[in-house]
Amino acid sequence: MSLEVEYDAGDLSCGELLIELRRRMLALAPGDVLAVKATDPAAPLDIPAWCFTTGHLLVEDRHPRYRIRRRED
């Protein structure tokens, strides 16, 4: 059974947001979901690109809400 964890990133800028996403994803088990609220104007570009680069699955992409499933290791 997978877990879903919520995280309100507010308006963190790109660098800070991506560092925090990495930290939070590492704390999850493979298959778990991180539900993120990110209001930074660059988030619609940054979050999908980060998911593509890291191999995590972007399950929902509706600014300001995103759901990211942690990849299998």
**Residue of 5, 14, 18, 57 marked catalytic:** 14
| Residue 2 DSSP one-character state | -
Q: CB–CB of 40/11 below 8 Å?
A: yes
Catalytic residue list contains 51:
no
Chain Cα centroid distance, residue 1: 19
Active site residues: 14
